[in-house]
């Protein structure tokens, strides 16, 4: 399955929203648009990945490519960059636990190719 994700924050910190779109064979299986409280843009980005991955698993995925327009998130979740913030390390542990036993790959995409997930994240915070 293919999952596009994005996080949004109105102010930084401020109200956060997440967006995710789960595809299989080019067809949209699920769209997620959810307000998730107050926090930072980085938290929103991580939570969007977690929500998208959870949904893909619920829909029966055994292999998932997560695409996001955050290079930092891709590098950190792929283990190429260190995560300094303890709260983000905790979310990564949750993501890693979800991904255990799955074939998961994180890929950076240009913002224009992530428009639907971006819209869903922004819509969640109004």
**Domains of the chain by residue range:** 2-124
Return the pLDDT at 126.
85
- At 28-37, the pLDDT tens digits run 999 999 999 9
DSSP assigned state of 119: H
- At 107-119, the pLDDT tens digits run 999 999 999 999 9
Q: What is the CA 2 to chain-centroid distance, rounded? A: 12
Structure tokens belonging to residue 35: 């307000």
- At 5-21, the pLDDT tens digits run 999 999 989 999 999 99
CB atoms within 10 A of CB 37: 10
Q: Which burial class, exposed, middle or buried, applies to 122 when counting CB atoms under 10 A from its CB (0-12, 13-18, 19+)?
A: middle
CB 54 within 8 A of CB 98: yes
> What residues does 8 pair with on adjacent strands?
17
pLDDT band for position 102 (cuts 50, 70, 90): very high
Just give the CATH number of 2-124: 3.30.420.10
CA distance 88 to 94: 10
CB 44 within 8 A of CB 18: yes
Average pLDDT rounded to a whole number, residues 70-97: 96
- At 35-52, the pLDDT tens digits run 999 999 999 999 999 999
């Amino acid at each position: 399955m293919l999952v596009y994700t994005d996080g949004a924050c109105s102010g930084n910190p401020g109200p956060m929203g997440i967006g995710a779109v789960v595809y299989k064979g080019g067809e949209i299986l699920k769209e997620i648009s959810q307000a998730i409280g107050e926090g930072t843009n980085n938290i929103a980005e991580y939570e969007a990945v977690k929500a998208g991955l959870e949904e893909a698993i619920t829909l029966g995925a055994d292999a998932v490519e997560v695409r996001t327009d955050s290079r930092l998130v891709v590098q950190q979740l792929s283990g190429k960059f260190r995560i300094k913030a303890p709260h983000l390390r905790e979310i990564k542990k949750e993501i890693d636990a979800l991904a255990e036993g799955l074939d998961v790959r994180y890929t950076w995409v240009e913002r224009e190719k992530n428009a639907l997930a971006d819209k869903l994240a922004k819509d969640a915070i109004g």
